Amino acid sequence: MGAAGSKLEKALGDQFPEGERYFGLENFGNTCYCNSVLQALYFCVPFREQLIDYYSNNKTLADAEENLLTCLADLFMQISSQKKKTGVIAPKRFVQRLKRQNEIFRSYMHQDAHEFLNYLLNELVDILEKESRAAKSDGETSSPSEKGANGPMSNHANGTQKEPLVTWVHKNFQGILTNETRCLRCETVTARDETFLDLSLDIEQNSSITSCLKNFSSTETLNAEDKFFCDNNVPFNVCSLQEAQKRMKIKKPPHILVIHLKRFKYIEQLGRYKKLSYRVVFPLELKLSNTVEDADAEYSLFAVVVHVGSGPNHGHYVSLVKSHNHWLFFDDENVEMIDESAVQTFFGSAQEYSSNTDHGYILFYERITAAGTS
């Protein structure tokens, strides 16, 4: 990327952010799905900082056992510590580890970037939880230890800690949904909480993220074979299948909101998946209004993983990233500056058949911290 790199440096000139690095990632045949997500995560600054911090504080652990977490931390360290400001890095160790660990990513077929992101975040959480448990059992045999992967650990008397561990991955990406079901006979509301690391939204033609989120939280009636078993026996002895209304609300919005647009849909008549090229507007600033608390959570867009291509089984992934108020376009080895107005060219196509096949697929928003919120 020599010429392209110097071109990027020229374009930014004296506005090149102090200490920042813009590196393309080499593609190993079909690894654009991986490269595009890694760039989005690298420019998720709180995640990057905590990952590098974790790595620096766990040097011995990194030498002892290689896993996806150590490989990712190693890659991010490699990028951030480069002497040059721009260039290309081969994420070889990370990709080899990924393929060794999960056969889905071993083939040279087109892979799904969302599936990869999901797998990676869950894998990082598993590794951190295992390490924390190991540190805890070591701490119990010696002295209470504070070296957990996620900051100070709470040691309860009699080992009664039942709280699920909250890792720094959770602190960035995890939100809580509440699933409310209201029995239409006795009006009792049953609420069940569930955590999420990203939200997958159904999409419609000529819609927006706001309308997709409204649909996600809209009330659905459960009747016929979908009736709800209400076990309430006061004031009526219901304890039977009843018609009910169900809706999903965001109880606790995450710090980093990842939205996956469901662009690949199984079409019964065709017997296969089809890509929906629908135009879905995603704003640079987003207000989440369907939360349990009345206060709107405000977010700012900082990365978009884009699927390029007309079908689900072939194509390419690139990413758009906002860094220090500049928008950059990452396409494997190539990195270039783009104008903020170019982001809207990735909303999708208003007509079904269009020559534009570059569509926003995964959106990364960071919460704008207002006074009084954490």
Identify the three-state secondary structure at position 101.
helix
Nearest to residue 51, comparing CAs of 256, 301, 312?
256
**What pTM does this model have?**
0.89
Q: Where are the alpha helices (DSSP H) in the chain?
A: 2-12, 32-42, 45-57, 59-64, 68-80, 92-101, 113-141, 168-173, 209-216
- Provide Rg for the chain, Cα atoms: 23
Which residues does the annotation mark as catalytic? 32, 316
Nearest to residue 127, comparing CAs of 167, 172, 92?
167
What is the end-to-end Cα distance of the chain in Å, rounded? 40
Ranges of each domain in the chain: 18-132+167-367
Q: How do the pLDDT tens digits run along the chain, 374 residues long?
A: 556 667 888 888 888 999 999 999 999 999 999 999 999 999 999 999 999 999 888 766 556 688 999 999 999 999 999 999 999 999 999 999 999 999 999 988 889 999 999 999 999 999 999 988 887 777 666 544 343 444 434 444 444 445 678 899 999 999 999 999 998 888 889 899 999 999 999 999 999 999 999 999 888 888 888 888 888 776 666 688 888 999 999 999 999 999 999 999 988 888 888 999 999 999 999 998 767 665 788 999 999 999 999 888 889 999 999 999 999 999 999 999 999 999 999 999 988 777 889 999 999 999 997 544 44
Matching CATH number, 18-132+167-367, of 1.10.3720.10, 3.40.190.10, 3.40.640.10, 3.90.70.10: 3.90.70.10
